[in-house]
Chains A and B, each alone.
Chain A
Amino acid sequence: MKPPTPVWRRYDRLLGPDPFADVKDELRFHLEAKIDDLVAQGWRPKAARQEAERQLGDIRALQQIGASIGEQMERRKRLKDCWSDLRQDVRYALRTLGRDPGFAAVSIVILALAIGANVAVFSVVNTLLLRPLPFPDSHQLVWIAPPPTDCGFSCATYSADAYEEFRAQSRAYQDVSGYEAFTTPDNLRLTGRGEPEPATSIEVIGNFFQVLGVQPFMGRLFTPDEARGGPHPVAVLSDAYWRRQFNADPAIVGKAIDLNGTPVTVVGVLPAAFDFGAVFSPGLKVDLFTPLDLNYERNWGNIVTLFGRLKPGVTVAQARDDANRVAPHLYQNVKYPQTLGRYKGDLIPVPLKDYVTGKLRRSLIALWCAVGVILLIAGVNLSNLLLARAAARAKEFAVRGALGASRGRTVRQLLAESLVLSGAGAVAGLGLALLLIRWLAHQGSVALPLLGTLHIDGAALGWTILIAVFTTILFGLVPGLRTGGSSLQEALKDSGPGAGLGRRHERVRATLVVSEVALACVLLVSAGLLLRSFLKVLDVNLGFQPDHAASIMVDYDDSAPTDDASAAKRAVIFQQILTRVTALPGVEAAGMTDYLPLGPNREWDTPVPQGQQGKVFAPGELPDPLVYVVTPGFVRAMGIRLRGRDFTWADTLHSERVVLINASAARIYWPGEDAVGKVLMRGKEADRVVGVVDDVHEENVEGPVGSQIYYPVTQQGPSGAQLVIRTSLPPAALAGSVLRALRELNPKQPAAEFRPIQTLVNRANSPRRFFMLLVAAFAGLGLLLAALGIYGVISYSVTRKTQEIGVRMALGASPARVRLEVILNTLRLAVVGLVAGTAASLVSARLIASLLFGTSPWDPTAYAGMALLLVAVALISGYIPARRASGIDPMTALRSQ
Chain B
Amino acid sequence: METAKLEFLRGTLDALILKALVWGPLHGYAITNLIRRQSDDALLLEEGTLYPALWRLESKGLLEAEWGLSNNNRKAKFYRLTPDGRRQLRREVATWEAYAAAVAKVLEATQPPLAEEIR
B84 interfacial contact with A, CB 8 Å: no
Question: Once the chains bind, are B77 and A34 in contact (CB under 8 Å)?
Answer: no
CB of A811 within 8 A of chain B?
Answer: no
A645 at the interface (CB under 8 A from B): no
B75 at the interface (CB under 8 A from A): yes
A33 in complex: contacting residue of B51, B67, B74, CB < 8 Å: B74
Contact of B77 among A4, A8, A25, A62 (CB under 8 A): A25
- Determine which of A4, A56, A57, A62 lies in contact with B68 in the assembled complex, contact meaning CB atoms within 8 Å: A4
Cβ–Cβ contact B58 & A73, under 8 A: yes
A258 contacts B by Cβ under 8 Å: no
Per-position 1/0 for B64-85, Cβ under 8 A of A:
0011111010111110000000
Is A69's CB under 8 angstroms from B59's CB? yes
Instruction: Say whether A66 contacts B55, CB under 8 Å.
Output: yes
CB-defined interface of A60-83 with B at 8 Å, one 1/0 digit per residue? 001001100110110000000000
Q: Mark A10-48, 1 if CB is under 8 A from B, else 0.
A: 001000000000100111011011101000000000000
A residues near B78, Cβ cutoff 8 Å: 3
Contacts across chains A and B counted by CB atoms under 8 Å: 80
Q: Say yes or no: is A5 at the interface (Cβ < 8 Å to chain B).
A: yes
Q: A1-B24, A2-B24 are in contact. List 17 more A-B contacts (CB 8 A).
A: A2-B25, A2-B68, A3-B68, A4-B69, A5-B68, A6-B67, A6-B68, A22-B77, A26-B51, A30-B27, A33-B70, A56-B47, A56-B48, A58-B48, A65-B51, A66-B52, A69-B59
Nearest CB to that of A33 among chain B residues?
B29
Interface membership of A9, Cβ < 8 A:
yes
Structural contact, B67 and A27, CB atoms closer than 8 A? no
A76 nearest in chain B by CB position = B59
Contact B76 A29 (CB under 8 A): yes
Bound-state Cα–Cα, A70 to B76, Å: 16
Tell whether A55 is near chain B: CB-to-CB under 8 Å: yes
Asked whether A6 and B24 contact (CB < 8 A) given A32-B74, A57-B48, A69-B59, the answer is no
Does the CB pair B55–A65 fall under 8 Å? yes
- A3 touching B47 in the complex, CB below 8 Å, given contacts A26-B28, A30-B29, A65-B55: no
Task: Determine whether B56 belongs to the interface, using a CB cutoff of 8 Å to chain A.
Answer: yes
Taking the closest CB of chain B, its distance from the CB of A166, in whole angstroms, is: 72
- The proximity string for B residues 35-52 relative to A, scoring 1 for CB distances below 8 Å and 0 otherwise, is 000000000001110011
B25 near A65: Cβ-Cβ < 8 Å: no
Known: A3-B69, A29-B70, A33-B70. Is A73-B59 also a contact (CB below 8 A)? yes
- Least distance between B6 CB and chain A CB atoms (Å): 16
Chain B residues contacting A4 (CB-CB under 8 Å) are 68-69
Cβ contact within 8 Å between B55 and A70: yes
Q: Are A65 and B66 in contact (CB under 8 A)?
A: no
8 A-B pairs with least C-beta separation: A3-B68, A57-B48, A1-B24, A33-B29, A69-B55, A26-B77, A29-B76, A30-B29
| Known A3-B69, A69-B56; contact A8-B47, beta-carbon cutoff 8 A | no
Q: Report the Cα distance A56→B48, complex, angstroms.
A: 5
Q: Which residues of chain B are within 8 angstroms of A65 by Cβ–Cβ distance?
A: 51-52, 55
Structural contact, B48 and A12, CB atoms closer than 8 A: no
Do B51 and A62 have beta carbons less than 8 Å apart? yes
State whether A62 touches B75 (Cβ < 8 A): no
- Tell me the minimal C-beta distance from A570 to chain B in angstroms: 92
- What band does the interface of chain A fall in when counting residues whose beta carbon is under 8 Å from B? 20 to 34
Q: Which residue of B lies closest to A66 (CB)?
A: B55
**Interface SS, A side:** helix
Residues of A within 8 A of B28 (CB): 26, 29-30
Interface range, B side: 20 to 34
C-alpha gap A58/B59 in the complex (Å): 22
A5→B48 contact, CB < 8 A: no
In the complex with contacts A29-B27, A65-B52, A66-B52, A55-B47 CB distance below 8 A: yes
Give the chain B neighbours of A34 by CB distance below 8 A. Answer: 29
Docked-complex contact B75 and A6, CB < 8 angstroms: yes
Q: Are A25 and B47 in contact (CB under 8 A)?
A: no
Contacts of A8 in B (CB 8 A): 75
Q: Which of B25, B47, B68, B77 has the most CB of A within 10 A?
A: B47
B59 CB contacts on chain A under 8 angstroms: 69, 72-73
Q: Can you name 30 A-B residue pairings with CB atoms under 8 Å?
A: A2-B24, A3-B68, A3-B70, A3-B76, A4-B68, A5-B68, A6-B69, A8-B75, A12-B67, A22-B77, A25-B77, A26-B27, A26-B28, A26-B77, A27-B51, A29-B28, A29-B77, A30-B28, A30-B29, A32-B74, A33-B29, A33-B74, A36-B72, A56-B48, A58-B48, A62-B51, A62-B52, A66-B55, A72-B59, A73-B58
- Complexed CA–CA distance, A65 and B78 (Å): 19
Q: Which residues does chain A contribute within 8 Å of B47, judged by CB atoms?
A: 30, 55-57
User: Which residue of the partner chain A has the closest CB to B73?
Assistant: A6
Residues of B within 8 A of A57 (CB): 46-48
Query: A5 touching B77 by the CB < 8 A rule?
Result: no
| C-alpha spacing A70/B25, complex, angstroms | 20
Q: Are B29 and A3 in contact (CB under 8 A)?
A: no
Chain B proximity of A388: nearest CB distance (Å): 47
Residue of chain A at shortest CB distance from B49: A57
- B48 contact set on A, CB distance < 8 A: 56-58, 62
Across-interface contacts of B66 in A (CB, < 8 A): 3, 5
How many Å lie between the Cα of A2 and that of B58 in the bound state?
A: 18
List the B side residues contacting A55 at CB < 8 Å.
47
- CB neighbours (8 Å) of B51 from chain A are 26-27, 30, 62, 65-66
Assembly CA distance A26 to B66 (angstroms): 11
- The distance in angstroms between the C-alpha atoms of A3 and B71, with both chains bound, is 9
Q: Specify which chain A residues have a CB less than 8 angstroms from the CB of B70 in the assembled complex.
A: 3, 29, 33
Quick check: A29 and B56 within 8 Å, CB to CB? no
Instruction: State A65–B24 Cα separation when bound (angstroms).
Output: 26
Q: In whole angstroms, what is the CA distance A22 to B51 when docked?
A: 12
A3 contacts across to B, CB distance below 8 A: 25, 66, 68-70, 76, 78
Interface centre among B46, B67, B69, B78, by most chain A C-beta atoms within 10 angstroms, is B67
Cβ distance A84 to chain B, nearest Cβ, rounded Å = 16
Nearest-Cβ distance from residue A562 to partner chain B, whole angstroms: 97
Question: Which residues of chain A (848-872) have a CB below 8 Å from chain B?
Answer: none
Complex CA gap A26/B47 in Å reads 13
Q: How far is A26 from B50 in the complex, measured between Cα atoms in Å? A: 12
Rounded to whole angstroms, the CA-CA distance of A4 and B66 in the bound complex is: 10
Considering the chains assembled together, what is the distance between the CA atoms of A73 and B59 in angstroms?
6
User: Which B residues touch A2, using CB under 8 A?
Assistant: 24-25, 68
Q: Which residues of A contact B76 (CB under 8 A)?
A: 3, 26, 29, 33
Contacts of A29 in B (CB 8 A): 27-29, 70, 74-77
Tell which of B48, B59, B78 has the most Cβ of chain A within 10 Å: B48
Which chain A residues border B46 with CB–CB below 8 Å? Answer: 57
Tell me how far the C-beta of B119 lies from the nearest C-beta in chain A, rounded to whole angstroms: 50
Compute how far the CA of A595 lies from the CA of B78 in the bound complex, rounded to whole angstroms.
95
**Contact in complex: B58, A1 (CB < 8 Å):** no
A72 to B75, CA, bound (A): 23
Residues of A within 8 A of B27 (CB): 26, 29-30
Q: How far is the CA of A650 from the CA of B70 in the complex (A)?
A: 125
Distance, CA A733 to CA B76, complexed state (A): 98
Question: In the complex, what residues of A have CB within 8 A of residue B52's CB?
Answer: 62, 65-66, 69
What A residues does B77 contact at CB under 8 A? 22, 25-26, 29
Q: List residues of chain B with CB within 8 A of the CB of A58.
A: 48
Chain A residue with the shortest CB-CB distance to B44: A55
Residues of B with C-beta under 8 A to A66: 51-52, 55
CB distance from B12 to the nearest CB of A (A): 19
CA distance A346 to B42 in the complex (A): 100
Q: How far is the CA of A33 from the CA of B76 in the complex (A)?
A: 10
Provide the residues of chain A in CB contact with B75, threshold 8 Å.
Answer: 6, 8-9, 25, 29
- Chain A contacts for B23, CB-based, 8 A: 1
Residue of A nearest to B27 (CB): A29
Which residues 103-118 of B sit at the A interface, judged by CB distance below 8 A? none
